[in-house]
Chain A
């Protein structure tokens, strides 16, 4: 009974919240209450889910009662449970942040309902055990992200939103194409079943490598990898900060999750080729992200390019895909989701207070907002991975596994990227909070207690996550096992058959 209901709560609860909001109509205050209460329930449920998986191992439910290889399965292993927990924490704080920042017109046009539908899609993509169902959930969160990116219809939003829609539509088409190839090769859509069939097949698997490239093209576009990230910075900079924070913290990470999942389960026969190509692209992603982060003084752009750097670092870990690499990539993935959301919210507070996005036009804000300034400082250190803050452990494991596998260039690039990250974020910090005083009369008189609350809470959570990394190690070890030992993921099929 419990194992029937529990896996579906993270998918269905946001959906029901959205439906209730639609029933309530255009009443922002009630929407806020529903979003906040539902978000809290979701955090509690997904925390319990992590605990449950830790105690009992991964568990599965068969939707509609169909036997596993044929019907849709919802598979909750440690990776999915941790990612769902992180997602619900981030979405809760971003909705609280939006209470004071997104503005009533957008709230009236169902902003929170769209966020909840997006949460449905993201959680579904993490939890599903069926590759076609993953495509469906990708579409669910992409459709609501199309609405979110153009909601409000500002001058900048429409052209950038159009680009975003076009690029994602094209890559979704390739996703279906890749799925069709994969289905024609293996004859199944269940991810665990597919893994077993591919692992036990002893013929020529050149065809699969081609499918792997199609999938890499799709997910690289969604995750913002090297040649295909160029749409990302401008599109993400267009919508207001809460939406930017949602996109930056969550959407690219779903792409990374999909790369890790598909390349660990399906494309394992020609590892030299696939892992090399991901590694090379990841290193190039880091380098191009670094160039972008150094080139801009606009606060939004600096942090957006830091997303691209982080995507590269995580993918270095997933490209190597041994035990240390996967653990490091999981640590860094969770760290990056938390700290990116926190940083976006912090610069959001600055932007709403000053009305400026260019850090050069600001200065001396530490005198007015000391708490905000030092929180930003800690968040910046954490982003760069200064020990003992949260970014450190992920990078440690990733570099360790890169050195173990004689991938020195990747290790050096990852290490040097930390310096660039530190420099870019500290430059923003010094421009905004130190330096010559700006004209303090220009500051806007906005209510910001809820904005400050959610931004600071996220930084605190990220710091606590960093400090308790040792305590959380068993969870991450368990999560990484799904990647470097794919047979453990598909073991639930053996129990059934």
Chain B
């Protein structure tokens, strides 16, 4: 966009583009996307969805912020090290299936139970969710790491 403006005759282009519409809209849409990402994430296991899709959507929400603002601002909003995010995801994805040995069951065997919660009534608790959190974090972290690295290269 910067170079297009340069070619169009704008001599001096400020370092940060203040596109009010984009910034305002992205603040709202960011939360919509994140909500939808969580919705897809928890819809997984029985219906289409899960950690991978959720992670991709979550990453896309942050990418929208990256487009509207710049990397520094986004980093101030969410001071997360994406490498650590990937590592944490891998720890979840690796440790949870291994822990099933404690139950004397094969690798990756899931454990679940049903609990009664007052208002929400019957809930199923599932170790697959923990594994999926790992997938979510890994996918989101990897996407964001790649995108920020590619973006940094140009600066």
Contacts and interface: CB of A to CB of B under 8 A. Distances in A.
B106 A19 contact: no
Contact of A63 (B87, B94, B106): B106
Interface in A47-68: 61-65
B90 A22 contact: yes
A22 B82 CA distance: 12
Contacts of B104: 1, 4
B94 A4 contact: no
Interface stretch (B24-32, B44-52, B60-68, B107-115): B107-115
Interface stretch (A8-16, A184-192, A345-353, A371-379): A8-16
A5 interface: yes
A494 interface: no
Interface of A: 1, 4-5, 8, 12, 15-16, 18-19, 22-23, 61-65
B109 A12 contact: no
Contacts of B110: 64
Contacts of A15: 90, 94
A22 B109 contact: no
23 contacts: A1-B101, A4-B101, A4-B104, A4-B107, A12-B94, A12-B98, A12-B107, A15-B90, A16-B94, A18-B90, A19-B87, A19-B90, A19-B94, A22-B83, A23-B91, A61-B106, A61-B107, A63-B106, A64-B106, A64-B107, A65-B105, A65-B106, A65-B109
A23 B107 contact: no
Given A22-B90, A23-B87, A63 B98 contact: no
Contact of B87 (A1, A22, A65): A22
A63 B90 contact: no
Contact of A64 (B86, B90, B91, B108): B108
Given A4-B101, A22-B83, A62 B106 contact: yes
Given A15-B90, A65-B106, 11 more contacts: A1-B104, A5-B101, A5-B107, A19-B87, A19-B90, A19-B94, A22-B83, A22-B87, A23-B91, A62-B106, A64-B108
Nearest to A63: B108
Contacts of B108: 63-64
A74 to B, nearest CB: 8
Interface string B77-105: 00000010011001100100010010011
Contacts of B98: 12
Contacts of A64: 106-110
Nearest to A110: B83
B86 A22 contact: yes
B89 to A, nearest CB: 10
Contacts of A22: 83, 86-87, 90
A8 B94 contact: no
A334 B91 CA distance: 34
B7 to A, nearest CB: 31
Given A12-B98, A19-B90, A63 B83 contact: no
Contacts of B109: 64-65
Contacts of A16: 94
Interface string B114-146: 000000000000000000000000000000000
A65 B104 CA distance: 11
Contacts of B83: 22
A61 B109 CA distance: 12
Nearest to A16: B94
A23 B88 CA distance: 8
Contact of A19 (B91, B101, B105, B107): B91
A182 B83 CA distance: 39
Nearest to B98: A12
Nearest to B86: A22
A153 to B, nearest CB: 12
A199 B108 CA distance: 31
A467 B107 CA distance: 39
A3 to B, nearest CB: 9
A8 B107 CA distance: 8
B106 A4 contact: yes
B108 to A, nearest CB: 4
Rank and list the top 7 A-B pairs by shortest CB-CB distance, nearest first: A64-B108, A22-B87, A65-B109, A19-B90, A63-B108, A8-B107, A65-B106
